[in-house]
Structure 1
Amino acid sequence: MPMPIYAYRCEACGHARDVLQKMSDAPLTTCPACGAEQFAKQITAAGFQLKGSGWYATDFRGSSSGATSAAAPSPAPAAQSSPSTPPCGGSCACH
């Protein structure tokens, strides 16, 4: 079962942090930075962490045929962003 990643922010000091928690875990309330009881979940897009070797780790890695070719990579179209730069710009915990 995937574990959601929740975004928290302290209303007292502004400290923000993403926390990997089970859905059944109680929400955090104490800010780890200032100790105030104003640490609350933020409303964000759903996030979760996939683990194991399921379809997401094995499929869609290479070309659309499912086979990867290390000998002759196809050139990337000019309109695509650089593959070394993730969509989030590297500012999240996933990279």
Structure 2
Amino acid sequence: MPTYDYICDACGHEFEAYESIKADPQTLCPGCEKHTLRRKIGPGAAILFKGSGFYQTDYRSDSYKKAAKADTSSGGSSSGGDAPKSTPAPAPPASSSGGTTA
């Protein structure tokens, strides 16, 4: 249920009321007891969805999820900068002592 702001045109009393969307606006001022109350126009509140299934990433395609998982598991950076690349060390030479002696 939303919260509405009210103001009285007679006495200037302002207050907030937590009421249903279907409820009729109040007209009786609790301060001066006159029927000069009106509902103010406010920005309203944003709708907040909680739980799974409401986030943008929940609706991604399987191919996108696989590519994103491969990108994060490879340790790649998505910054796109010119970072120096490390080269792997050369493999040591193979030993020729395959069990035969000369």
The TM-score, its normalising length taken from structure 2, stands at 0.44
By percentage of residues, which structure has more strand?
1
- Bigger relative CO (Cα 8 Å, ≥ 6 apart): 1
The TM-score, its normalising length taken from structure 1, stands at 0.47
The structure with the largest alpha-carbon Rg is 2
